[in-house]
A = this chain, B = another copy of it.
Amino acid sequence: MMNFSLKPIGMLHSPFREATGTPIQSATAKAVEGWVEVFPEFAPGLRDLEGFDRIWLLYWFHLTAPARLLVKPFLDQQERGVFATRSPCRPNSIGLSCVRLIGVDGNRLLIADLDFLDETPLLDIKPYVPAFDCFEARHVGWLEGKATQAVMADSRFELSETKLKQC
């Protein structure tokens, strides 16, 4: 099967410059503010977005270590299959965050509840619609009883200085 090519449509601006100390989920990152810069050629696609309280951001984990199929997630001490986690070290490094949309100013979106690093390349924006995105799910596997902890990331999935030099 063929590969696909992605081009960034913008850049995410956040107060977090390294993984250590960054919230691991937007749900636990309340009030952290930042902004989305949408490159001017894509700005016409933002029409009508202002009416939504929340948006999905899809982005590229640009500073993550190479993919692993088994990872020890932030919320656990055991190795888990990467597809049963939200770890950034994935075969396709796509991140997904639901953030609060505070305002739209031309090609800039003011947002809150951020859980990503500064200068993250933006791939897509979709409106958050509870009727499409909120589902009952009683069983959350190994995350049972852990998912509501306000845990911050450490450096375990970060591209190390040494690895950066090798790239």
Write the residues of chain A forming the contact surface with B, with a CB cutoff of 8 angstroms.
Answer: 1-9, 11, 25-27, 38, 42, 44-56, 58, 60, 69-70, 80-86, 90-94, 96, 98, 121, 123-144, 147-148
Contacts and interface: CB of A to CB of B under 8 A. Distances in A.
Contact of A130 (B1, B52, B140): B140
Given A129-B140, A131-B148, 17 more contacts: A5-B6, A26-B132, A44-B70, A45-B83, A46-B81, A49-B81, A51-B84, A53-B139, A55-B83, A58-B94, A94-B124, A127-B140, A127-B141, A127-B143, A129-B147, A130-B134, A130-B136
Question: How many copies of this chain?
Answer: 2
A54 B132 CA distance: 13
A142 B48 contact: yes
A55 B51 CA distance: 28
A135 B130 contact: yes
A47 B92 CA distance: 17
A132 B84 contact: no
Contacts of A142: 48, 51
Nearest to A52: B141
A124 B134 CA distance: 19
A80 B125 CA distance: 13
A70 B69 CA distance: 38
A76 to B, nearest CB: 9
Contacts of A139: 51-53
A48 B86 CA distance: 13
Contact of A80 (B48, B133, B137): B48
